[in-house]
Structure 1
Amino acid sequence: MRGRLVAAYAIGLAVVVAVVLGAGYLALAAQLRAASAGELSVRLDDVSAAVEAGDVRPVERDPYAQVISGDTVGARSAATPTTPVLSPREQVVAGHGRMVERRSAGLRGTALLAGRRLPDGRLLVVGTSLATVDDAARRVLVGLAVLGPALVLVLTLGVRRLVGGALAPVAAMTTRARELSTGRLPEPPGADEIATLARTLNEMLDRIDAANRRERAFLDDAAHELRTPIAVLRAELELGVAEEDPRAARRALTAALVEADRLGRLATDLLVIARSRAGALELDRAPTDATIVIRDAAARVARVHALAVEVTGPEVVAEVDPVRLEQVVSNLVGNAAQAGAARVRIAVAQPAGSTLAITVDDDGPGFPEPLLPVVFDRFRGTHGGTGLGLAIVATVARAHGGAATAGNDSALGGARVRVVFG
């Protein structure tokens, strides 16, 4: 990056220096020629005034002057030839007050010639050599040709040093990032773009590190939760294989089947949590008779656990995923049953600004007060469950744009969980 910046700067600077020095050279050359033209005009005025007064001696004393009449030369300076220094066409041009540049005998290099038409029709011509002007311009050009590249080189080296200093923190961050396994990048002081970049990258590293810690904790918790049902399942199967009494073997296999069901539910719950964490929990939202889905799901769980379940509220049609809604209700009622509740009441509502709201009250012991702030976290079960039921409830609610809350303010004396779908 530093090389590209310096190269771009050097190219841009070279163009600017070339334009500026070139314009300066052209302006200087034009100024030198203008000065020569001014001096020549003064000489022409002086000599012309004398000739018009009848005195041709100033012509003869002038460094370079002629009085031309057609193709003949009258009075002239010693340095001029005996023939006209201007062609007939150039005489016309000079007669109109315009100066002529050309090679002329008696003058070194290019000559600048100025003329004036006298009252008697003759043409007075004076001239000067531009060799001195051209030599001075060439010397300036050579100097600029040396100065320009030197200036570009010096400024480029200076900018390279400045850019290197400005980007040194980036190089330090790059080196540190290559070596980094844990920790943070060095943050330069100040509030410029480099310091902001370092802070932003460190914030990103903190988020990645936190996500990795959560991932490791999730895997550790999942492995721990899976280990118990697998061990129980293996033990029951080994017992069934070793048992000679068919009835005892059947009891062992039945217990193994229960553990297999538990293991399957745990795997399903883990899959839901994992998909939610990856942002891949898909919802199939559709207009759903939510009250019927809730009533059916609650009745199925109630039959399994011998619960008294009551569903109250209006018939609500909501834009939700019916499968996930059923999962939420099953988890909430099942959680109440595992907590020891004998009675559950589900209130269905459709408050303003929300698609659906479910409030589940039970007459169980409620949530332990220390667990209320983390009751929706993974693996927080307190009644022999997997600890994922309420976590899935909160996950599904968030996926619908809503939220879940928990407390011990149930009208039935136990726990209350409220789930709102956005």
Structure 2
Amino acid sequence: MDGYYAFMLVATAFVLMMTVPALALFYGGMSRSKSVLNMMMMSYVAAAIVGILYVAVGWSMGFGGDGTLFANPFELLWLDGVSTDGYIYVMFQMTFAIITAALISGAVADRLKFSAWVLFVPLWAVIVYFPMAHMVFSCTDDSLICGRIGAQDYAGGTAVHINAGVAALVLVVLLGKRVGWPKEQMRPHNLTLTMLGAGLLWMGWYGFNVGSIVFAGEEGEAFSARFMSETGRTFGTTTLATMAAILGWLLVERLLHGRATSLGAASGIVAGLVAITPAAGAVNLSGAVAIGAIAGAVCAWAVGLKYKLGYDDSLDVVGVHLVGGIIGTVLIGVFSTSDGAGGVDGLLYGGGFGSLGDQALGVLVAVLYSGVLTLVIGLAIKLTIGLRLDEEDEVNGIDLAAHGESAYDLHSGTSGGRSSVLAAATSTSTEGANA
């Protein structure tokens, strides 16, 4: 088991890297230059808040053994009763909670007050994510998705991606559109950062999917055989689905817009990773290619729906994570094989419509649970401290308004430090007042 613990330490570090710095870079590059620091700060702050909360009550709510639909947050308060060698798996699951909350931030770029984000994150983690993690990952008779419905979700298609995607959609509807959207061009300010972030996400996702193998008291030869088989499968399916999604996205992008772009390639990477997350242990390699290609193509089309339907999803969280998560979760019912982790044949392998129905029902539960409770949280914040940044601050840039900083110091003769940036900001404000 020593080798397994070492493996889980590496997997945990990889998943934490997916948020800081990978997601921060990916989203930061897609943002406008006047909001890139705020965008990255949202990931870092989410990591700090959710990480501490997870150790305090999140593990108990997600994996407590009280035998009820919703676990007792105080049963394992501050990991009371958890052995220190068990901390490794706690930290692994903590990184899932962190990135799920951070994913939402991309939808609300440029206009969500930082104070509202700091309040939203802990409320959403406790009320929405931790209970849904129990429904999905604590696969016992009392868990909803796995225990009562039977839907397969290897590493978080429902609890992570659909959950975050629905929450993102709810928040953008509550917030409204950015000033000038969609008439004003709001292009990514640094696609190099985005491509780098996408590559790091791909690397980190091996910890996310491959590390999600769970052993229930196995040891010796049985342990070794299952470990090699299941980790090999998930590593292969994760790799091939991502490759297929890149091609699927670029093909649709070329057909729709006449060009295959670097942003499309980066987005295709994420779409494929999202879609294979729930299916990584259930499908074979050809199934992974099919899921990846479908997800890449459909997500490339879906990101354009915001212009037709009028919701301002700044960095396409809905089009990639919600749509990709639904595709990957539902298609398990088509492409899963009985030699996979769930032991269920999908429709394509003669299993009938039973698994497909379970998967669809799992998606429905995740959408409704996340949607309703996120709406309640969002409305509560909107009616108290407010969600939306002042229009003037939004136009001038949330980096300066919320943090007193600028990502790029373009003023010659300054050191680029905090004092010089604040001095420049103060000088600008004074000049404006005297004008």
Decide: shared fold, TM above 0.5: no
Structure with the larger helix share = 2
Normalising to structure 1: TM-score of the pair? 0.19
The structure, 1 or 2, with the larger RCO (C-alpha pairs under 8 Å, 6+ apart) is: 2
